[in-house]
Structure 1
Amino acid sequence: MMLRAAANCRHYIEHGITTVRDLGSINDIVLHISKGIKRNLILGPNVIASGRTLTMTGGHDPFWARFVDGKYEALKGVREQIYKGAEVIKVSATGGVYGRTEGEKVGNAELSLEELKVICEEAHRFGIKVASHAIGRDGIYNSVLAGVDTIEHGHFIDEELLQLMEERGTAWIPTLFVYKQIASQEGIPEYARAKTVEIVNIHAKAFRSFFKRDILIGAGSDAGSPCTSHHALLNELYAMNELVEDVRSVLKTATVNAGKILERKIGQIKNGYQADLVLLEGNPLEDLKNLEKVKEVILRGELIRLGD
């Protein structure tokens, strides 16, 4: 599995993706990958990883979760992940479409408001951001109120929640493509497909309605999920562009906005920013599919020879 993760790192670079935020890995594998990249032992993008997610016992993502119940376990969970090298904390605030085959509903709030507050306060004390898997309304509300930095998925964001996110500076990572895939592809378990079909149009409507509002929207792929490869960020941009025609703003979700959300000096060609550049054979403003025509990649100021 470690070798596969290392291979995925190269795939990202080959597709012009220079920074990856990884939100959940079995046995904290990606934390080790991130350390290997920083030590120049592995060729890979800039990796900002959470390692294990924090979820309630029996909650969403049990496969790579650290179960926490109550504020004291939540506090210890944050500290453990930071000790292991996490640069972001991932929480599961609601159920999801995948996970347990029975009993997991996307609308169910999982971690409590009290638990989420403790997690956010402790992570922020160390300068670490918190990303919340939140599909249902109650879990989104709890997450924003607790102080998470990003809502991942956010299908049931409505006007009231959007205003709260604007007030608190909460960013949104919608991950449209992965849910389109789960709803339409063969080989998906019926329990997962059925839940996705129910919410995929709600998701699209929310994105279309709120794309131009005063919140930061970032592009995220949910890579590693079913039918979602480790360069599916491009597919996410295409999915966004199907719903909104403003190509420039769509591109910003993966560049300028992403840098602002992460609070890193990346995503812009600007004095003092990290030199991560992609040379394409066509203008993506004219055709977004030109993102696939990667000619050269400069990563952390060095030219990467893709053929080597």
Structure 2
Amino acid sequence: MRRVRPSALLVCTAALFAPLTVLAQTTAVHCERLFDARSGQVRGEHTILVENGLIREVIPGRAKLQDGVESIVLGDRTCSPGWTDLHVHLGSQSSPASYSEGFRLDAVDYAFRAVGYADKTLSAGFTTVRDLGGEVSPHLRDAINQGLVDGPRIFAAGKSIATTGGHADPSNGYNSMLSHLMGPPGPTEGVINSIDDARQAVRQRYKEGSDVIKITATGGVLSYARSGDAPQFTVDEVQAIVDTAKDYGYRVAAHAHGTEGMKRAVLAGVTSIEHGTHMDDEVMRLMKQRGTWYVPTIYAGRFVADKAKEPGYFPEVVRPKAATIGAQIQDTAARAYRAGVPIAFGTDQGVGPHGDNAREFVYMVEAGIPAAYALQSATLHAATVLGVDDQGVIEAGKRADIIAMPGDPVADINAVMGVDFVMKGGRVHRAPAEAAALD
């Protein structure tokens, strides 16, 4: 049996800025086990034929290959569709210096950091992300699509839409002199206070090349403001955002911790509720009725609750919110699953460290969500939230986004932390130390 080393498979790129070379026209990936995202079951041996960035055929067992077909054998591993994280912020990462850095760093500084964060995210098995708020992300998306840097496929929101003093008001925490010099932010900066402003803010995001709209329907944990859960839009304002977004083919994700803000967002027709800390039975019922997805971000909740115990990590106005709100999200996710609310995967990484995204699966299972459902939440469910049908499953005609990990993640969810093979769009980004060729 011939041995093919990772260098032959173009696994270890020498530099972040060098585009990957295209693999042989047809590549066969052999998996000892295969996670079927439609059924949630782990199947036996399969061979996946990849051609021109797409899956050409999925063959049970070990396939006989024609001459010239490059092959990768992943022994004692489970292959899965590449995962999608529906809530990340690739332009930043939380630290005690985060609040002061906004006054010292330029957009270029954040962009260079984002390149490394994107690479870590892809290496962890996340071939697609939805970046929900950050002016860097549309540019990073374009650089990745052009092959200039490595990273996941990005659906970028650009600047989140907020109200004055709301969670995504960029002037929160500024002193009066600085606020006077800069002037009040408006729709161009993603801050609205009327129906007309709401429409303009969505149109501005379209002008800037966003893929999705993000609103902050309630206060937030990490913003420099007292309230973490008060509603921050009127019903009419949210409705104007959703209706205008539909004109441009956009879906709307709503950051929300408080019950009333969530209710307004769901009634207005948002696609997903992010965090959902104080979600009550009425909101759950409405979400089920209207097909609204829930993206819990348990990781972020646990992370901020832990960091709130460290003096000096957060400003004092933030610390009480982090301690009280963050600790509740895992319990909310458990109740939502039992109630039948549709759940999709998201971490809010950028709050926690990029590259550790898969730990959300472990937290979901701790909350009582079955491992198979948790894995579906990052594959089939995530594709539904994005409104795409070309990824999320390993089937002929879909994108060749394939990852693999030792063990069986349905039997032991901790296996998700060991991803060591990542293929995105037919190109190998990461592979085990050695991969053997089929006979």
TM-score normalised to the size of structure 1? 0.92
Q: Which residue of 2 aligns with 1:48?
A: 155
Distance 1:233 1:75, change over 3 A: same
Aligned match for 1:248, one of 372, 392, 403: 372
Structure 2 counterparts to residues 1-308 of structure 1, below 5 A: 1-25=110-134, 28-63=135-170, 66-100=190-224, 102=225, 104-185=226-307, 186=310, 187-225=313-351, 228-244=352-368, 246-264=370-388, 265-305=390-430
- Compute the displacement of 1:144 (Å): 0.5
Q: Aligned pair in 2 of structure 1 residues 241, 276: CA closer, same or farther (>3 Å)?
A: same
How far is the alpha carbon of 1:178 from its aligned partner?
0.9
Q: Percent identity?
A: 31
Q: Distance in 1 between matches of 2:277 and 2:395?
A: 34
**Deviation larger for 270-279 or 167-176:** 270-279
Give the gaps of 5 or more residues in structure 1: none
Amino acid of the residue matched to residue 195 of structure 2?
Answer: K
Deviations 1:85-104 (A, max 9, x none): 1010000110011112x4x3
Secondary structure in structure 2 of the residue aligned to 1:110: coil
Instruction: Tell me which amino acid in the other structure corresponds to 1:180.
Output: R
What is the aligned residue count? 301
Counterpart Cα distance in 1 of 2:355 and 2:327: 24
Higher relative contact order (CA 8 A, sep 6+): 2
Q: Tell me which amino acid in the other structure corresponds to 1:18.
A: T
AA in 1 matched with 2:425 = R
Cα deviation, 1:223-268, whole Å, max 9, x if unaligned, reads 112xx01223212211111111511111111112111111222221
Q: Provide Cα deviations, 1:1-44, integer angstroms capped at 9, x if missing partner.
A: 2111111111111111111100111xx21111111122222221
Deviates more, 1:133-142 or 1:228-237: 228-237
Give the SS at the match of 1:90. strand
Name the TM-score, length of structure 2 as normaliser: 0.65
SS of 1:211's equivalent? helix
Structure 1 vs Structure 2 CA RMSD: 1.8
Asked if structure 1 preserves the Cα contact closer than 8 Å seen for 2:219 and 2:228, the reply is yes
SS across alignment from 2:314: coil
More helix by share: 1
Report Cα offsets for 1:263-305 as digits up to 9, x if no partner: 2222211233211110212221232222222222110122224
Which amino acid is 1:82 matched to?
Y
**Structure number with bigger Rg:** 2
**Any gaps of 5 or more consecutive residues in structure 2?**
1-109, 172-188, 433-439
In the aligned structure 2, how far is the partner of 1:195 from the partner of 1:304?
39
Letter in 1 for 2:145: K
Asked if the contact 1:71–1:118 (Cα under 8 Å) also holds between the matched residues in 2, the reply is: yes
For structure 1, which segment, 69-78 or 58-67, has the greater mean C-alpha deviation from structure 2 after superposition? 58-67
CA distance in 1 between partners of 2:219 and 2:356 (Å): 23
